[in-house]
Structure 1
Amino acid sequence: MFSKIKIVKAGLLIIMAIGLCTGCNGNHDQHPNKDLNNSQVSKPISQSVANQATENIILEDEISKVMAVNTDKDLLVAIKVKQFDRFRLKKIEKKINSDLEKQYPDYSILVSADQKMYFELVKLDEKLQKNTMSMENLKKHTKKIKSLMKEQS
């Protein structure tokens, strides 16, 4: 009787292991990027202007974090200001905006210290890093973010 119980337990254990292995080995999509648009970009969109702006802005004492994204005509920058400098938020935004306008006169520049704008630019930058965005989509997203930034001002 004791050996029959062991045989039944071993059989159940083997059946469960086979069930788990076949359940985990189900249908996987052949195209993991099937949710991407057909207008995928073969080369990444240059963010050199945004990267340079980020490097310059982060050197400011009152800035803790910076996120920037650029198109061929626009430069969107979102900043996070250190806690005690939040009282001078508008002044800091204007200073950074004027500095960037001097450095990049060919670009339309918007600077915001709003956290929502920061997170929107982080999401947009992640998509750019994954190379899943065309220039058209980038312009559409930046237009949406620009309208949000202007609304906040």
Structure 2
Amino acid sequence: MKKLVFTVPLLFLFSGCSNLEEPHDESRVALIKKTNPPPIELVDHPETDSVGHAIKKDVDKLEELYDTAVIQGMDKDVLVAYKVKHLQRFHMKKIEKKMKKKLEEKYPDMDFTVSSDYKIFLETIRLKERIESKHISNKEAEKRFKEIVDLQQELT
């Protein structure tokens, strides 16, 4: 009887603490695991072979990177957030310079913001989840995109 008195409340406690309908599973593990999100395009006519997808493919070719997230804004602004492989952390400035140069040469009419900051990466994943779950309008998504870019500018 004593075991039952202790076991039942523990079961209720553990079942109450687990949130099975958590819509943001990807953002919860974004900093630990490779998420490889598709590019987010806030433009009016997203296409499968758009500039955002091409940028993501080009950035993914860099072997120093672990994971990347790309947001293409309404204007010519593009945010590229990435995670670097562990042993490449010593070369982060060099990697960022190499990536930015490569992107600016291939897409000269775009304005790139490149970030290896985990906070920026996480905010990008969260924005993607909000857009996919239809919890945010295009106007609000563009506003949030600009806030993330401003946050990156503030960090540098």
Select between 43-52 and 118-127 the one with higher mean Cα deviation: 43-52
For the residue of structure 2 that corresponds to 1:123, the secondary structure is helix
- Indicate the residue corresponding to 1:117 in structure 2: 120
Q: Aligned partners of 1:138, 1:103: CA distance in 2, in Å?
A: 26
Q: For structure 1, which runs of at least 5 residues remain unmatched after alignment?
A: 1-42
SS at match of 1:61: coil
Question: Following TM superposition, by how much is the alpha carbon of 1:131 offset from its aligned partner in structure 2, in angstroms?
Answer: 4.4
Distance 1:106 1:135 in 2: 23
Q: Which has the larger radius of gyration?
A: 1
| AA in 2 matched with 1:145 | I
Instruction: Name the structure 1 match of 2:73.
Output: 71
Letter aligned with residue 60 of structure 2: I
Once residues 131 and 53 of structure 2 are traced to their aligned partners in structure 1, the CA distance between those partners, rounded to angstroms, is 13
Shift of 1:45: 5.8
Residue 3 of structure 2 corresponds to none
CA spacing shift, 1:54–1:132, aligned 2, 3 Å: same
Q: 1:128 to 1:100 in 2, by over 3 A?
A: farther
CA RMSD of aligned residues (A): 2.1
Which runs of 5 or more structure 2 residues have no equivalent in the other structure? 1-42
- Quote the sequence identity (%): 33
Q: In 2, Cα distance between the equivalents of 1:76 and 1:95?
A: 16
TM-score (norm 1): 0.65
**Normalising by the residue count of structure 2, what TM-score does the alignment of the two structures yield?**
0.64
The Cα of 1:68 is off from its aligned counterpart by: 0.6
Q: How does 1:1-150 map to 2 (within 5 A)?
A: 46=46, 48-72=50-74, 73-150=76-153
